[in-house]
Amino acid sequence: MSLLGAAAIRELAAALDLKPSKSLGQNFVIDSNICTKIVRIAGVTQDDIALEIGPGLGSLTLALLESAASVIAVEIDHRLATALPLTISRYSEHPENLTVIHADALSLEELHIQPTVLVANLPYNVSVPVLLHLLEILPSLNTGVVMVQAEVADRLAAKPGTKEYGIPSLKASWWAQVSGAGSVSRSIFWPVPGVDSKLVSFKRHETPGDDVMRKGVFQLVDAAFAQRRKMLRAALSGIFGSSAKAEAVLIAAGIDPTLRGEALLIDSFCAIYNASQSVK
Ligand code: SAM
């Protein structure tokens, strides 16, 4: 088995006459060391079925195949999805361990194989919706490491009271504990992106409630951050019909109505949701 370096990536791209698409976030990793590092940080073992979103030319896929029992790779770009098995049979000793699915990750509904770990250099423009969608539809996904735009990584892993804390941090924390896992230099990509990248890791935990509750809680989170400088009693007035009603719900939940959404953990949004079910 060998990994893909800059020359191999250039050769594969030239053979496909590939012009990287900005709208699909196509920045390919040309440094195999970073792929090995990501797989190591993710702690992938032979007990794992790895899910990769956006395998592109296959740099990370090859590194994953070295450590995981099998890999499921979901790629939206038809040319890349078609070329991947050929690349993998050329460079990997275990091409049979790869399943390629040509699909938009956002429209995946279920997989007949249950992945245990997500490892991906996510397309930047859809990284948060893809991550949240996968956590929702694939309960077998226990852990993962994803590479995303640096600002997005900071938002996903942010703690309350910081300027980065908001909707991505809160919604991700419904499903999992998210932590920063290091920075990545722009120079390891082709083409070199205009933004910095970071790694984030996640570990799934038990959710605070069922799917009905999640939808209600996410609606509260969206409303609380629609205008993040507003106090909760004003920010939630639309949902509850008036700021007086919002204040009554917040007090019943044990939350100071003059706080802003950025002060609250997901548990407090759950408390507001639960109080809203009993306060008439
Ligand atoms: N994994 C490769 C690497 O690290 O070199 C490529 C990563 S590149 C940042 C993102 C990849 O995601 C591209 O191959 C792109 O075609 C693919 N992609 C973009 N949007 C997607 C979507 N909605 N579903 C699945 N794949 C997508």
pTM: 0.96
Helix 211-226 vs helix 167-175: crossing angle, to nearest 10: 160
For each successive 10 residues of the chain (280 residues), what is the average pLDDT? 87 94 95 96 98 98 97 98 97 96 96 96 97 97 98 98 97 98 96 96 97 98 94 97 97 98 98 90
- The CA 150 to ligand 1 mean position distance, Å, reads 17
Q: Are 183 and 129 in contact (CB under 8 A)?
A: no
Q: Which residues line ligand 1 (CB under 6 A)?
A: 24-29, 53-57, 59-60, 74-77, 80, 104-106, 121, 123, 126
Q: Which residue has the tokens 């996410």?
A: 218
Cα 190 to chain center, whole Å? 22
The residue among 47, 67, 54 whose CA lies nearest residue 27 is 54
Q: Cα–Cα–Cα angle for 22, 84, 26, nearest 5°?
A: 10
Nearest-atom number in ligand 1 for the CA of 124 is 9
Structure tokens at 182: 């290091």
